[in-house]
Amino acid sequence: MPNLQTTDVSTFLTLAKKHPVLDARSEGEYKQGHITGAISFPILNNEERALVGTCYKQKGHNAAVLLGYELAGPKFKLFIEQAFTLFPHKKVLLHCFRGGLRSKIMAWVLHTAGFDITLLHGGYKAYRNYVAEQFLKPYQFLVLGGYTGSEKTPILHMLASVGEIIIDIESLANHRGSAYGAIGLPEQPTNEQFENNLAMALVEAGTEKIIWIEDESRKTGTVVLPEQIYMAKMNAPLLFIDKTRQERMQSIIELYGSFDKEQLINATQKIEKKIGNLRMRQAIESIATNDYPAWLNIVLDYYDQTYSFGIAKRLKEKLIRIKAANNDMYVQQLLKAKDTLLNQNGLPNN
């Protein structure tokens, strides 16, 4: 007889490393936020869920339950057929919002078809509480800083390639953190989903080892770092990649020079209030005529000034400037700086 059991969030997530997680909520709920890696497998779609909700308000619990069965019942065969196709090993994890009727019905349907089912106690709501708890833990951050174009993200991944633990906020956010940061990237996740993904990255990294993280403002595009993580980052040592303006301009042109000019122009228009109408028009004209150095000299004046203002808020003893000839040497210098901080006990838990 196949198993049907319920477990807590921590155990559920451990099992999720080996088995698929099915989200029985509607597709709209799933898009708003879901367990990282979960598969949308709704028992009621958006419209059906709305109908049940209206029925509950107007006619009460029993009528809503009956309507739910009426809407979902004809789809039971389809659920089983899809599960047979997608999950031939017949072992899945399952949840709805609170661990209530939707997941229990779906569990019953799949269980009778021979599936081993593990339900999440408390559902997605319990998972969100777990996510919030992760932001309160004492992580040991080293923050990789530098002006726009310093190639912080490539250097971050070079650190990962030599065994360092990193969290790439820009990757989690699908955004590079400036007015131009969305160009060439997929749609950003909701803020809720960003928090979910960040929490899972923090769980994977743990609190015992150093975590390298890029110096971002609290808001990256449309998503926002949790207050606790932002403050921990602000209180951590900042290792500043000290590249020349010319080096930075070259790397920016290599990245953005191939993108559609209209996208660059639209992004430049977003910072009109920051640089002024005249400078904005000059920057747009420079883009149109392929004079990318002139465009960058205008916008970098603004971004460099903004970043300088930000790092001025940090304690001077926690700001370490790193100068090197190339990115490989930057990685070497960063690792040396990390060792020095460890030896000086300069990395207390935040």
Residue tagged 């708003």 (tokens): 32
pLDDT of residue 348: 53
This model's pTM is above 0.85:
yes
pLDDT of residue 347: 63
Residue 70 makes CB contacts below 8 A (sequence gap 6+) with none
Q: Domains plus CATH for the chain?
A: 4-132 (3.40.250.10), 135-343 (3.40.50.300)
pLDDT of residue 350: 47
Please tell me the distance from the alpha carbon of residue 16 to that of residue 10, in angstroms, as a whole number.
10
Q: How far is CA 348 from CA 15, 33, 56, 140, 232, in A?
A: 32, 33, 52, 7, 11
Instruction: Find the helix or strand (DSSP H, E) in which 214 lies.
Output: strand 210-214
Question: What average pLDDT values come out for the chain (350 residues) when binned by 10 residues?
Answer: 90 98 98 98 96 94 93 96 97 96 95 97 98 97 96 97 97 94 95 98 96 94 97 94 96 91 95 95 96 96 92 82 96 96 70
Burial classification of residue 308, based on how many CB atoms lie within 10 Å of its CB (0-12 exposed, 13-18 middle, 19 or more buried): exposed
pLDDT of residue 281: 97
Is 55 noted as a catalytic residue in this protein? no
Q: Which of 21, 96, 239, 280 is catalytic?
A: 96
- Cβ distance 278 to 298 under 8 Å? no
Residue 159 makes CB contacts below 8 A (sequence gap 6+) with 144, 166, 212, 331, 334, 335
Please tell me the distance from the alpha carbon of residue 330 to that of residue 162, in angstroms, as a whole number.
13
Please tell me the distance from the alpha carbon of residue 179 to that of residue 129, in angstroms, as a whole number.
32
- For 235, the 3-state DSSP assignment is helix
pLDDT of residue 312: 81
pLDDT of residue 319: 92
